[in-house]
Structure 1
Amino acid sequence: MFYSANDYYLSAFKGLKHKIINIDLPITLGIFTLFIQSTYEIATLQGIGYMDSLIGLVFFLLIGKWYQSKTYQALSFERDYKSYFPVAVTLVSGSGEQSIPLNKLEKGHRILIRNQELIPADATLLSGVAKIDYSFVTGESIPVPKKIGEMIYAGGRQSGSSIELEVIHQVEQSYLTQLWNQDKGFGKPDSSLGSIINKVSEYFTIIILAIGVTAGIYWLFYNPSLALYAFTSVLIIACPCALALTVPFTFGSTMRVFGRAGFYIKNTEVIENLSKINTIVFDKTGTITLNKSMDIRFVGNNLSGEDLLKIKFLASHSSHPLSTCIKESIAGDQRFEISDYQEIPSMGISGIVNGTRINLGSKKFITGKVDDAPNTSNVYCFINHHVAGYFSIANSYRPGLEAVIRELSKSHALYLLSGDNDSEKNNLGPLFGNDEYLRFNQSPQ
């Protein structure tokens, strides 16, 4: 049991080495005093010692550390970037296709990426129609079209038909890996300098040692046989075991409470620094917006129920997120005959649905005119030989967002970062109070 507490000894020694008195120093003094005093009494047959107290102290200290460790493991998101990558990839060679482990992927390999598969390494597009969803990396919710020969970064997800890529960087050297490891250069924050408990323990240890030495000297003159007992008794009784037990149980419980509320923190040092926060930065996609819900309305001529169902059926043939949004926004379900279906990347889709020509896409694709607001998510509709209008697609924000921002703005500076374009600037500007607090088209760096 004495050996089991070696983490406390090492922590106290490292603290002294860096001229820091932390909470583990008085604990170490208490444990050593208990052990030495008990061993001496038992060896000299002068008493039974305090081994039961020593075992109880170390046991509960270790239980506290175990509890905090288990809590951290359950809630930690400090996983390796490969945890999000596929275990294997499809390698394309002269002999055909074969599946190889991710760690065997090398520069120059040709790989096949299917619909909704994650791209594991930086590569160039060799063939196929690439529409890359970078939401995992940048938060950009709209897939980015890529042309033959263009670079595609690791972490993107293909939306649509299969594409063939040539790897130009190994997985460990990819852009995503660099981003993932970016914060490691700053090192782990040292809570011993900022922790209130360690600051208190610095004075606590000095005071306890002073009291113990004073008591020992006093009894050395009046009753020398009690001097050692007086000194060791002070160290044993004043061992800050309650304070030491409080730390892991408090942090562990706090992390669990936060986790149940959907608030995940990187490490326990964050808990201590929460009270110092004066600025809050919001991410847009998936944080203040609802991932699976969009605010969609049709602007233009009134469309019949049958026309809407035909539009829905045409949109269902495309994997583009905007087509999916339109499909899900129209109630009902009916199948039609479709012919002459075409999907032009970055432009739109068209087809003849039950004898009716329907085109859906950008303003330029439908009307031949350049869109005055290229950053807006508008899908124009051509049906029954004329332009009927357009679907205006906007983000759907989480309920209660306005109240939360209003309350937080009373005591904190609020900012918004997004990898998306600034199509939501007019909606978010009044919410945050000033357009200067909004940053769009941002990269993870």
Structure 2
Amino acid sequence: MFSKVLIANRGEIALRILRACKELGIQTVAVHSTADADAMHVRLADESVCIGPPSARDSYLHIPALVAACEITGAEAVHPGYGFLSENARFADILQAHGIAFVGPSPEHIRLMGDKIEAKRTAVSLGIPVVPGSDGGIETDAEAHRVADEIGYPVLVKAAAGGGGRGMKVARTPAELEFALANARAEAQSAFGDASVYLEKYLATPRHIEIQVLGDGQGNAIHLGERDCSLQRRHQKVWEEARSPALNDDARAEIGETVAAAMRKMRYSGAGTIEFLYENGAFYFIEMNTRLQVEHPVTEMITGIDIVHEQIRVASGSTLSLTQDDVQFDGHAIECRINAEDPRTFMPSPGRISHFHTPGGLGVRVDSAVYQGYLIPPYYDSLIGKLIVHGRNRVECLMRLRRCLDEFVVDGINTTIPLFRQLVDHPDIADGSYDIHWLEAYLAEST
């Protein structure tokens, strides 16, 4: 086991990792920009190192500063959390060259799954069902029209190096396709430095279902069930739950074992998430995230398994501490992402928190690094916390969530808490009758 881990992140995820390290008896090193000098993870870490000015490019994304922080403090490993450098294969390579462990999969697996075209080809080879589409990148508009005619409209143009909904455009007719191609390529080039795109069949009313996996790189891999992340705005998840209201036990077990078997064949190491669209009883692979997910707590709540503990253990060379038979699912869990945003316009709302009170009680977890008097800087993601609740079933979980949202107090800034108070009372949410387009339609009707 490592004796000291550097946490290459900020906010709630940095605090989440810090807590796991402390429980394992590992010393922690926090890194921070000048804007985060008063952050909670900096206050609680055993050591801290300032790595640059507020801009993420000059601090949290500045690899030389992070390597230097490791060397200065003697950190043996780096946990990247999510976002920033968590899926940067070059960063993992550089750490490896300096004798520092990367708490995550191998650079090769990061590269493989970071290229959406190669990821899809790999999924096919591993027996994972995929969305019908092009075999690889689309080089010409003529090729795009040919593929679209074969799979049928509407189609989705996607950036090969994409993520977070950027470089994704829908074309419902041949006339729209050329416009979608041009826009997707331009957006992909701007966001990722790579204009490559490919085509997939656009599914009309799918759910977004993802499977959490753990592997140790030694041929052992398990799944921890699914999460339903269908409530999204602009392809960004807003509300996640486990288990999905749309799946039964047979479907859950079948797709889980398919994915786990694929990870064993890959000899995958660490935590990962395989994301699917699910429509009419069929799963369609869309991508794999080779990192910890924002929504991992709902899986922890229904399994009792600490995913970050397992990440750290595996990165230190240990095998998984549990088998598939050890994984048991208990009840239901829902997570709401609390953002510092206007609940109607979703404009960021940085500023100082004047009052802060989190809900509590049985089955309640709040992952947040803010506190009363904390100044939310304008430079980073607007996520300020996650409210996670657990119940014996989905009905109890929704009742508990409603009570917790009424207790949650964040004054001085705007947050998305009022939106969740509306959602928890909506009949479609109570019934579990929603797909990935539901939230945007609801928001459009509400304005």
Higher strand share: 2
Structure with larger Rg? 1
What TM-score does the superposition give when structure 2 sets the normalisation length? 0.22
What TM-score does the superposition give when structure 1 sets the normalisation length? 0.22
